[in-house]
Structure 1
């Protein structure tokens, strides 16, 4: 259910009046069909969340195409012109580099980078925020970015919530309880819900839930009996916390060379060609 300023909202009205794209229409439909209540003090906050969810999906698709390699922390690498590699395999922004420049370079020169799936999720989050808020605010809020595992700036205000309602733009987790101890990197896979029953996980690519589970099951220990599974939780940025910096409020739209906000995105999954 969707409530705005104390009133339940008909999702058809939002679709017809707000000109929503396919990702945003799916978000609204799933919110409206859910027994959970999605409540907003204003329509503008919901608009912002829908915009940022669309950017999360687009940023995940862009990272998939960037050439970013999968690796363990021990073998992580980055573009030394923008990032310093830490002893633990994280990336810390070099002095004199703007946060936006560091994030955008990952999408432009992904082949110079390698990391694991949790860090990839944080990279997607920063990129989506960059495209959703005013550029000057992004530089100020995230001036000292460290990319390492689930380390993130507190201004992202990430929240992990138990839920059965999964929305495009959510970060989800497929657990692999009987993973092979020799390959602990496959004890699970963090993914972005792309909508349409598809998910992006760094190292696994774009897959359906069934395909992701099969992928992880191939990485189990000998004699394993428990299957991988989707955990009933979703990690979401603090949309309300970021909303005051919305780049729509002053007619500003941040665009980088990696992705144009209004462009159509396609992805080949097996024999199917998907469009967003």
Structure 2
């Protein structure tokens, strides 16, 4: 259900949408949850950003960036510095917009794990939605490492099986092999039509991802992999307000996390996700 200024809208309010953007609108409209906006422009912003997240995922899938654990992380030294823990820290003498764009332009120079891939997709999609000027103003000092995100990338978390293109879901592999602990699960972007993008796997349907993860179980493991009901998404309304009110910019010292109805603690989830990369689990 979509509510703008306290009033629900009809499908005719955005009848000019086509393709994936129309699908995104219909999924928002048909959801039993309430999606509230201050203006029709905020709704249009969310639809555009979700569409760009899917487009960025498709572009990454076409590129040559490789899946690697933190120990094998690689980056282009012309834009980034590699940290001791496998993080990718932006150089002080480059624009954030150019550094993010380079990951897709010179993808053969990069390697990272799946959570880092999701953040890169978010930043790339936001850049393509708000433009380089605002992106460079808001997203300085970028650090690409697992789920460490810029304070202006406010995140939401929710338990639901009702997903919308641009959402990020998690396929869990409970009987993962400790020797290949990086396949404990897979973060994946909802592309639509039961297709998901997971870095290292490409764009696949749910059954393929589950079958792949089942093939990485520990010897004797019998618990099947499954698509969990955890969904992560950025706060689209927060980002819309940043793009429309650049003079009211506020910087938070720590990442902000919004919890909706039926939501879980994202920071707690990320803690468990971080632990999942440790081989002695």
Counterpart CA distance in 2 for 1:238 and 1:39 is 12
Q: Could you tell me which residue of structure 1 aligns to residue 258 of structure 2?
A: none
Q: Matched residue pairs, number?
A: 246
Alignment partner of 1:150: what SS?
Answer: coil
Q: Following superposition of structure 1 onto structure 2, how do residues 254-265 of structure 1 map, counting pairs within 5 Å?
A: none
Alignment partner of 2:57: what SS?
Answer: helix
Cα distance, 1:42 vs structure 2: 1.5
Alignment partner of 1:49: what SS?
Answer: helix
Deviations, residues 157-199 of structure 1 (Å, cap 9, x unaligned): 0111112220000011111111000011100000110111110
Q: Following superposition of structure 1 onto structure 2, how do residues 108-147 of structure 1 map, counting pairs within 5 Å?
A: 108-147=105-144
Q: Following superposition of structure 1 onto structure 2, how do residues 1-276 of structure 1 map, counting pairs within 5 Å?
A: 1-11=1-11, 13-16=12-15, 19-246=16-243
Alignment partner of 2:189: what SS?
Answer: strand
Q: Could you tell me which residue of structure 1 aligns to residue 276 of structure 2?
A: none
Counterpart CA distance in 2 for 1:39 and 1:238 is 12
Counterpart CA distance in 2 for 1:49 and 1:33 is 16
Q: Could you tell me which residue of structure 2 aligns to residue 270 of structure 1?
A: none
After the TM superposition, which segments of 4 or more aligned residues of structure 1 sit over 4 Å from their partners? none
Indicate if the aligned counterparts of 1:193 and 1:200 stay in contact, CA closer than 8 A: yes
Counterpart CA distance in 2 for 1:54 and 1:8 is 23
Bigger mean CA offset, 217-226 vs 134-143: 134-143
Cα distance, 1:14 vs structure 2: 3.6
Counterpart CA distance in 2 for 1:21 and 1:62 is 20
Counterpart CA distance in 2 for 1:184 and 1:131 is 34
Counterpart CA distance in 1 for 2:141 and 2:21 is 31
Counterpart CA distance in 2 for 1:226 and 1:198 is 23
Counterpart CA distance in 2 for 1:135 and 1:79 is 20
RMSD of aligned C-alpha atoms? 1.6
Alignment partner of 2:124: what SS?
Answer: helix
Indicate if the aligned counterparts of 1:134 and 1:246 stay in contact, CA closer than 8 A: no
Alignment TM-score, normalising by the size of structure 1: 0.85
Indicate if the aligned counterparts of 1:66 and 1:106 stay in contact, CA closer than 8 A: no
> Which structure shows the higher helix fraction?
2
Deviations, residues 118-150 of structure 1 (Å, cap 9, x unaligned): 000000000011111142221121110000111
Alignment partner of 2:152: what SS?
Answer: helix
Counterpart CA distance in 1 for 2:185 and 2:240 is 31
Indicate if the aligned counterparts of 1:133 and 1:242 stay in contact, CA closer than 8 A: no
Counterpart CA distance in 2 for 1:53 and 1:160 is 16
Alignment TM-score, normalising by the size of structure 2: 0.84
Alignment partner of 1:132: what SS?
Answer: helix
Cα distance, 1:238 vs structure 2: 1.5
